[in-house]
Amino acid sequence: MARGRMIDRVIILSRKVNSVSEGAENLYYRLNVCADDFGRYHADAEIIKGQVYTKRKISLLTIKSRLDELNAIGLIKFYADDGEIYLEIVGFEQHQTFRSDIQRKGEYPKPKSYLQSSRNESDTGRNGPDTERCLKLSKDKLSKDNTTASGPSDLMCAFQTWWTRYPRKLGKQDAMKAYLVIAEKESPEILEKALTGYIKELNKNQTEERYIKHPATFLRNERWRDYLDIPMPTRIGENTRKDQASSENMKKSAEYRQKLVAEGKWTEAQIQDRVAAFINEGKP
């Protein structure tokens, strides 16, 4: 906990700090206040929720997502000690002014090695391009018409950025294949917006992590379209009758979802699965 030190205002000029989302930036400042004099603190989302966001209503899912975002761009690092996960703020001393009359105090163990994520998932960063560059590209709003996303490596960057935000990291290779198939026809920006919509729904419903769709499941069979809060783009050369049928199917699936919710006996995960089956098969 901060004592005898002050955060230097130069921190607000940091390129990395200004590259993350506002939510991740908010957590970063809070961690700087709560960390010990060596920039170390708990990486447990439940502890952070209780001690860092004491008077804020925030989900564990949101905290985990913000932690992973800060880790991905290199503002914090994770490490383990005696079965517990901790974090260390990178370059902590550069943004702190310490009082010379107070001895610095470490409250958390010193890291011996670092993990790739707060959940110690070994495939989080494997087979992917430089994450910092990918996050920079995401800030440029990658799209099919944007020349910054014209090559395979840029699509891989777009996927890496999407993967960093996805709240349940399982089956990265399957997710990558599904993502790249979609990216041949749709823009990475559309998939980012779909993911944002899904995360909003998860937070609203306080969905447990075990009920979050696997990344590849979210991407396949156009399930990701259910979470777009923007008008569906018109596809050049697509048959008008097909468009009308698709619109009618979406209306019916929405009515079917409302019916399941009204019954009050289904979990959110079960509702999602039944609606997906309804869309694919045309019947409950």
Q: Can you spell out the DSSP letters for the chain?
A: ---SEEE-GGGGG-TTGGGS-HHHHHHHHHHHHHS-TTSEEE--HHHHHHHTSTTS---HHHHHHHHHHHHHHTSEEEEEETTEEEEEETTGGGGEEE-TTS-----SPPPSS-BSSTT--TTSSTT---HHHHHHHHHT---TT-GGG-SHHHHHHHHHHHHHH-SS---HHHHHHHHHHHHTTS-HHHHHHHHHHHHHHHHHHT--GGGSPPHHHHHGGGGGGGG--SPPPPPTT--HHHHHHHHHHHHHHHHHHHHHHHHT-S-HHHHHHHHHHHHHHS--
pLDDT of 118 reads 53
pLDDT of 263 reads 83
Q: Is 90 exceeded by the pLDDT of residue 116?
A: no
pLDDT of 213 reads 93
Instruction: Report the percentage of the chain scoring pLDDT > 70.
Output: 74
Structural domains in the chain? Answer: 5-98 (1.10.10.10), 123-232 (no CATH), 234-284 (no CATH)
Q: How confident is the model at residue 90 (pLDDT cuts 50, 70, 90)?
A: very high
Name, of 41-45, 60-64, 137-141, the range with top average pLDDT.
41-45
Q: Is 80 exceeded by the pLDDT of residue 269?
A: no
Task: Report the mean per-residue pLDDT for the chain.
Answer: 77
pLDDT of 245 reads 59
Average pLDDT over residues 60-76: 88
Q: Of 61-75, 125-139, 201-215, 266-280, where does mean pLDDT reach its minimum?
A: 125-139
Q: Is 60 exceeded by the pLDDT of residue 131?
A: no
pLDDT of 210 reads 86
Residue 109: what residue type? P
Q: How confident is the model at residue 86 (pLDDT cuts 50, 70, 90)?
A: very high
Q: How confident is the model at residue 220 (pLDDT cuts 50, 70, 90)?
A: very high
Does the reported pTM lie above 0.75?
A: no
Average pLDDT over residues 231-253: 57
Higher-pLDDT residue of 76, 271: 76
